[in-house]
């Protein structure tokens, strides 16, 4: 999955700025791991180790709107309906909910 925005990559330190890399080198091991995982939450983990993930979902919810229009013919009513604003419509949320899709999955740091 691609990140939501382009992340500049250094050829040596990856997504971590070189200045931060220099600081991390001097940290004790436990502190260094925490600092590195700010940039790469999967760094140093064993295969199969479970971590928390933030999953974003989206779904489409259908709404049905109603408005009262006074017109002499159906054609005239349709023309008037085309000019109605959202604020002039009474909206009801339908029980028909669309499919749920996964929007993104990112490690939760």
Which tokens belong to 58? Answer: 């989206």
In tens, the pLDDT along 7-55 reads 677 888 777 888 888 898 899 888 988 888 888 888 889 999 999 999 9
In tens, the pLDDT along 53-85 reads 999 998 887 788 889 989 999 999 999 999 999
Residue 3 has a pLDDT of 53
Residue 1 has a pLDDT of 45
- How many Å separate Cα 100 from the centre of its chain? 13
Other beta carbons within 10 Å of 69: 13
Residue 7 has a pLDDT of 63
């Amino acid at each position: 999955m691609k990140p939501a925005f382009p992340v500049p990559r250094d050829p040596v330190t990856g997504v971590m700025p070189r200045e931060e890399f220099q600081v991390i080198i001097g940290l004790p091991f436990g502190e260094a791991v925490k600092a590195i995982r700010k940039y790469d939450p999967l760094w140093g983990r064993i295969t199969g180790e479970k971590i928390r993930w933030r999953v974003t979902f989206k779904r489409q919810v259908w709404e049905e709107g109603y408005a009262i229009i006074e017109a002499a013919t159906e054609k005239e009513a349709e023309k008037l309906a085309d000019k109605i604003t959202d604020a002039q419509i009474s909206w009801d949320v339908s029980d028909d909910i669309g499919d749920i899709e996964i929007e993104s999955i990112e490690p939760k740091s």
